[in-house]
Chains A and B, each alone.
Chain A
Amino acid sequence: MVIRRLAAILAIVALVLAACTDTGDGESQAAESQAAESMAAESQAAAGDCTVAVSWNNFQQPRWAAKDKPNIQETVEAGGGTYIDADADLDTVQQLTDVESLIGQGADVLILLAQDTAGVGPALETAANAGVPVIAYDRLIEDPTILYITFDNVGVGRAEAEAMFEAVPEGNYVLIKGDPGDPNASTFLPSGWDEAGLQDKIDSGEITIVADQFTDAWDTQTAQNNMEAIIDSANADGVQIDAVLAENDSTALGVVAALQAKGYDPIPVSGQDGDTANLQNVAKGLQYVDVWKDANELGKVAGAAALQLCENPDVASVTIPDGLVNPDVAPTAGLTAAEFTTPGPDGEPDSGDENVVNSFILQPQPITAENLDLILDSGWLTKDVLCEGVDPASAPPACQ
């Protein structure tokens, strides 16, 4: 009986605690939005000021809060504008409410990281009715009026393959792809590889594909298990694997773990995302290239573009100020907004439903042991973190 009573008490305590933390969150959110409102009110009081609103779809991926948000905010505030934002927590409906509330707070420009590119339609209408220009940030929105700011996603695949072909021009390659349901894994990245000449090299016999495997949910352990089986299979055939083209960093991490578990001599492995663990592997010589999309630069471009749209809502006239972004990252099409043909709502190119939007398509940067200093210079990682556990004898220049 005592135990039963104790149980009831504990359960009640747990419930109360849960409730407390809930209201705690609610209060802090309310406080934040109040602060934002008062900021917005102040900015409206100071006439002619520019209020830039950002509707984030989530803060669960670390990059948005850690990299993108501070850069947009700093750029906007340095230009005399006011920054407000809201986080939709991966909820399409919440995002629509957020947009209405942000426009109600007096937003002059809306930067939108869309949770659902189709479901965001009503938010665009709200913005259009209020005469607020919209920037589609990192994710495409199929609407001709928007300004699209992103990294070149096919270019990521191309950069991965180009770097790898420089290191291993011919030999036995393993292809480790991501989730088969993600068009990035099945279409865009492989087409980038082929742009860099993968298919040509296969046809000419320079490169032999030992294995070609998808990875459910981009999961690291799945990639590791698959790679171990591929190594076993290659060993049984007496085949030496010379390089592994992995589509992203989470799969590359699994590939490196498998190579180590099998005592395989380090061979070039590719990846993308600039994840901390992978950049550390680049520093240790365990991963050859990590194609990096510097979200800091993306945030700066969006902030600068938003400030200009406050002055002149014509998206075609936006120009990135000279010297704002790293020339290696700047769009190949130049510093003025360029036209970009979207695949259209059906996702198929050349099917007649494409939109032409104004865009800034930034260039991804392949990071190898030789140019790791870019990671330090940009403040992406500190030297302590990047060079943790690196053997001083074989340290890359950035870690010496």
Chain B
Amino acid sequence: MADALTSTPAPAHGADRGSNRLRGALAATEIDLRLFGMLVALVGILLGFHIMSGGKLIQPANMITLAVQASGVAIMATGMVLIIVSRNIDLSVGSIVGVVAMSYALLMTDWLPALGLGLDTPFQWLVALVIGLGIGALIGGFQGFLIAYVGIPSFIVTLGGLLSLRGTVWLMSSGAAVSGLQTEFRKIGGGVLGSIGETATWVVAGVACLAIIGLIVYNRRQRQRFGFPVRPMWAEVLLGAVGCAAAVGLSAVANSNYLPPGLATQYALEHGIIEPPGGLKVPLGFPWPVLLVMFATLAMTFLATRRRFGRYVYAYGGNPDAAELAGINTRWTIMKTFILMGVLCAIAAAIGSARLNGATLNVGQTDELYVIAAAVVGGTSFAGGIGTIPGAVLGALVMQSLQYGLSFNQVNSPTQNVVAGIVLILAVAFDTYNRRRGSAR
């Protein structure tokens, strides 16, 4: 995660002539100040609700709920960043989620059983999942084709997608809710069933820690090899330490979320453990949706900053004509961003339908607004060329923490929407102000 927090191409404005020693030190670590600010804002929001709730909000169990609720939007936001960076928009993501979620539900309860693959077939869920991911990619690919090759504006194509795909959800089930998915599939949705357990969580922490250190070492070597300026040694050590601490800290939080007492008693009985006084504590560890978010963030960040595809996307967003003239196959690049978006929507749909143990007509409705809001709050600019994936994930967490915090404090959902809207505008206003000040200097 530490690597995710470091800004990518922004060359260190090292010569920040003695304005402020702290700023200079931060610049040396190459931490993206924007992201750092968002992290501070997120903690601030949570602390605010914590106080409002009389000191009850910030607890491992609640933080896990919050992260799981944000997971679908966060995963989709990583793809939306690339779409907005390349000067497009995708309004259809909520409806794609609807179609794919309904496909999962119908595949498992109706279509696959009709082909002889009943609910009791092992790995039936995997077949459904693969087909669902394919449907997502196909829908995204078709829209991307219309946008990139036929030249219809993305706003129009995906607005059409928003309407027609939502109608498709209705046609698929005649408007009825479908329920009863395979138990294995439901693990994708997290909850008490879908967490990886204590040991696996510590393994994840260890692997993450090693990966962070490995990346830092690799980065330093590469920079030395090509004669680029390197971070001062203390900054490297600090980054490694903070990254490792974050990985271990998050795992500790996940492992402080225990199985509910009733289920713990059952667990003790099944495993022949004598329950200690005060109840058995069975740590749940990371839920699957949270792992999926981490994976999507890392994979998409890698794709966006370390692969040619990502470079092309940012190049096109910065100046489409220049990118075209430089010989980039811009159409194929744009189409790929939409295919990717479709696949990410299908992952979000898996989480959504697994959480619901089925699908309703409304699954994913208005998700497009939250996904776009998350990307924008996370610093993605509609002017194109600017935006980071970790920023968008943080944006999703900020938006969801507002909803969760208000809901936790029993504020009604219309009020939740009012607050979410105001924060969206404030975040962008603040960002615009900061950028203007930055360029005026």
Q: B19 contacts which chain A residues (CB < 8 A)?
A: none
Q: Contact check: which of A66, A212, A217, A249 meets B362 at CB < 8 Å?
A: A217
Closest beta carbon of chain A to B50's beta carbon, Å: 10
Q: Is A11 an interface residue (CB 8 A)?
A: yes
Q: Are A232 and B65 touching (Cβ within 8 A)? A: yes
Q: Is A224 an interface residue (CB 8 A)?
A: yes
Q: Given the complex of chains A and B, what is the CA–CA distance between A225 and B57 in angstroms?
A: 15
Q: Given the complex of chains A and B, what is the CA–CA distance between A253 and B179 in angstroms?
A: 9
A1-27 interface mask toward B, CB cutoff 8 Å, 1 = contact, 0 = none? 001101110110000000000000000
Q: Contact check: which of A10, A61, A216, A263 meets B260 at CB < 8 Å?
A: A263
The stretch among B125-133, B227-235, B406-414 that forms the contact with chain A is: B406-414
Q: Are A388 and B180 touching (Cβ within 8 A)? A: yes
In the complex, how many residues of chain A place their beta carbon closer than 8 angstroms to a beta carbon of chain B?
A: 53
Closest beta carbon of chain A to B89's beta carbon, Å: 21
The stretch among A91-99, A117-125, A274-282 that forms the contact with chain B is: A274-282
The stretch among B320-328, B353-361, B383-391 that forms the contact with chain A is: B353-361
A-B contacts, 7 of them at CB < 8 A, read A11-B146, A180-B414, A213-B407, A215-B413, A220-B362, A275-B176, A277-B177
Closest beta carbon of chain B to A151's beta carbon, Å: 19
Q: Is B211 an interface residue (CB 8 A)?
A: no
Interface of A is mostly: helix
Q: Given the complex of chains A and B, what is the CA–CA distance between A243 and B33 in angstroms?
A: 47
Q: Contact check: which of A8, A254, A389 meets B119 at CB < 8 Å?
A: A389
B351-384 interface mask toward A, CB cutoff 8 Å, 1 = contact, 0 = none? 0100111101011110000000000000000000
Q: Is A261 an interface residue (CB 8 A)?
A: yes
The stretch among A164-172, A233-241, A359-367 that forms the contact with chain B is: A233-241
Q: Are B176 and A230 touching (Cβ within 8 A)? A: no
The stretch among B8-16, B189-197, B295-303 that forms the contact with chain A is: B189-197
Q: Are A11 and B150 touching (Cβ within 8 A)? A: yes
Closest-by-CB residue of A relative to B414 is: A180
Q: Are A216 and B357 touching (Cβ within 8 A)? A: no
For A180, A225, A262, which residue has the most chain B Cβ atoms within 10 angstroms?
A225
- Once A235-B61, A250-B360 are accepted as A-B contacts, the answer to whether A216 and B414 lie under 8 Å apart by CB is yes
Interface residues of A in 359-389 (CB under 8 A from B): 388-389
Q: Are B145 and A7 touching (Cβ within 8 A)? A: yes
Q: Are A257 and B355 touching (Cβ within 8 A)? A: yes
Q: Is B311 an interface residue (CB 8 A)?
A: no
Chain B residues within CB distance 8 Å of chain A: 53, 56-57, 59, 61-62, 65, 68-69, 109, 119, 145-146, 149-150, 170, 174-180, 189-192, 259-260, 262-263, 331, 352, 355-358, 360, 362-365, 403-404, 407-410, 412-414, 417
Closest-by-CB residue of B relative to A223 is: B413
Q: A211 contacts which chain B residues (CB < 8 A)?
A: 410
Q: Contact check: which of A219, A237, A261, A389 meets B180 at CB < 8 Å?
A: A389
Q: Are A213 and B413 touching (Cβ within 8 A)? A: yes
Q: B191 contacts which chain A residues (CB < 8 A)?
A: 260-263
Extra contacts, 4 of them, besides A225-B404, A264-B260 (Cβ < 8 A), are A219-B362, A230-B408, A253-B358, A277-B179
Q: Are A7 and B150 touching (Cβ within 8 A)? A: yes
Q: Are B365 and A217 touching (Cβ within 8 A)? A: yes
Q: Contact check: which of A4, A6, A10, A277 meets B358 at CB < 8 Å?
A: A277
Q: A253 contacts which chain B residues (CB < 8 A)?
A: 177, 179, 356, 358, 360
Q: Are A224 and B355 touching (Cβ within 8 A)? A: yes
Q: B262 contacts which chain A residues (CB < 8 A)?
A: 263, 265
Q: Is A226 an interface residue (CB 8 A)?
A: yes
